Amino acid sequence: MQILITGAAGFIGADLSQRLLSHGHEIIGVDNFNDYYDVALKQARVEQINKHKNASKFSMNELNIENRAQMSSLFERYKFDVVVNLAAQAGVRYSIENPQSYIDSNLVGFGNILEGCRQSKVAHLVYASSSSVYGANENFPFSESDRVDNPVSLYAATKKANELMAHSYAHLYNIRCTGLRFFTVYGPWGRPDMAPFRFASRMLKGEEIPVYNNGNMIRDFTYIDDITQGVVKIVESPQASNSYKVYNIGRGEQVQLMEFIEYMSQHLGVPAKINMMPMQDGDVPRTMANTDDLQRDFGYQPSVSVNQGVERFARWYKEFYRL
C-alpha cells in the first residue's frame, strides 16, 4: 500500500515507518521538524529510517499539516491507500503555556487531514487520540465506553475534538476512521519532554527528579514495539468503509511511578534523587487501559514488561548520548 504518515520524524511515527517498510509498503512521511524538542533527535530518527533495507520506498516531506495549500498539494500528488495521522502538538503541560499551537496543529491541521482524505477518497484514516481524553475519569481501568466529556487540559480537549470530527467525516463521507488512545508510550528514540527521558537525563547528571502528586501516580507505561505492532495490525486490516471506531492502546497494567523510577535507577546504575511536588494543573493521578476491544478485533497482545522496556531504553539512552 501507499501510506501517508504525518509526524514521521516523531517517536511513534519513525518506528511505525520502519515497521511498515519491513512489510513492503511505500511510506510518504510528513513532518514540520519544529523545535518543541531537540530537532537533532528528529533528524537522527529519519537517518535511521533511511538506513532501512527498503528505504527506497520512503520519502520525507517537510511541511505543516495546518498549511491548507501544502496539504492539498500533497493529497493531489499521491494516491494514499491509508493515512496515519500522528502529527500533533503534544504534551499536556505545554498546552497550558501555549494553547494556540494546539489549536493550529491539532484542530486546523487535523481538519486539513480529514479534507485531504475526503477529496482523495482515502479508504482508511488511522489517527492518534490520547488517554488524556479520559480526564479525571473515576472508572478504572479506562474503557472506551466511559464518558470523556470532562477534559482537564486543552491538549485533551483537542484530542476529543479529533474523535468527534472523525466521527462526522466517517458518517458523511464514507471514510473508515480509527482513533487510537495511546497510553504513556516510552522506549528508545522517545520524546525528551516525557518522564522516562527527563528521569534519565537528571539521574545521570546527579540532579533531583521532580515527582508530582508526592509520588502517588499510576501510569500504564507501554513500550514502543507493542504500540507500533498494534498500529500495523490496524493499518493492514481490511474492514468496511463508513466505519468509526476508537480503541485504547496500552499495556493494560498499572505501574506506580516510584516503581518505574526504581527500574530506571537500577538500569542506569545511578541513584535517584527525589523532589516530591504537588499535583500539576492538567495532570491526572492515574491511567490504565482496558484493551479488550483491541485484543478482540485485532489480536493485540503487548509482550514487553516495564522492567524489560526500561532496561532497553536505558541502554539506548547511554549509547545515543555516548555516556
pLDDT single digits (tens) 224-233:
999 999 999 9
CB 271 within 8 A of CB 314: no
- CA atoms within 13 A of residue 21's CA, in its CB half-sphere: 23
Among the listed residues 173, 135, 168, 138, the one whose alpha carbon sits nearest the alpha carbon of residue 153: 135
Residue holding cell 479506562? 142
Task: Give the integer Cα–Cα distance in Å for 6 and 130.
Answer: 16
Task: Give the integer Cα–Cα distance in Å for 36 and 103.
Answer: 15
- Looking at residue 280, what is its pLDDT? 83
Per-residue pLDDT tens, the chain, 323 aa: give them. 999 999 999 999 999 999 999 999 999 999 999 999 999 999 999 999 999 999 999 999 999 999 999 999 999 999 999 999 999 988 777 888 889 999 999 999 999 999 999 999 999 999 999 999 999 888 999 999 999 998 888 999 999 999 999 999 999 999 999 999 999 999 999 999 999 999 999 999 999 999 999 989 999 999 999 999 999 999 999 876 668 999 999 999 999 999 999 999 999 999 999 999 998 887 888 999 999 999 999 999 999 999 999 999 999 999 999 98
Residue holding cell 498539494? 73
Among the listed residues 39, 27, 168, the one whose alpha carbon sits nearest the alpha carbon of residue 84: 27
Amino acid at the residue 44: A
Specify whether domain 2-183+223-251+289-303 bears CATH 3.40.50.720: yes
> Catalytic residue numbers?
155
Residue holding cell 522492567? 307
Average pLDDT score over the chain: 95
Quote the distance between the C-alpha of residue 89 and its chain's center.
11
For residue 147, give the 3-state DSSP assignment: coil
DSSP state of 280: P
CB 133 within 8 A of CB 181: yes
- Looking at residue 167, what is its pLDDT? 97
Q: Note if the bond before 278 is cis, omega within 30 degrees.
A: no
Task: Give the integer Cα–Cα distance in Å for 297 and 290.
Answer: 14
Q: Mind listing the pLDDT tens digit for each residue in 87-121?
A: 998 877 788 888 999 999 999 999 999 999 999 99
The phi, psi pair for 274, rounded to 5°, reads -105, 135
Write down the H helix ranges in 236-305. 257-268, 292-298
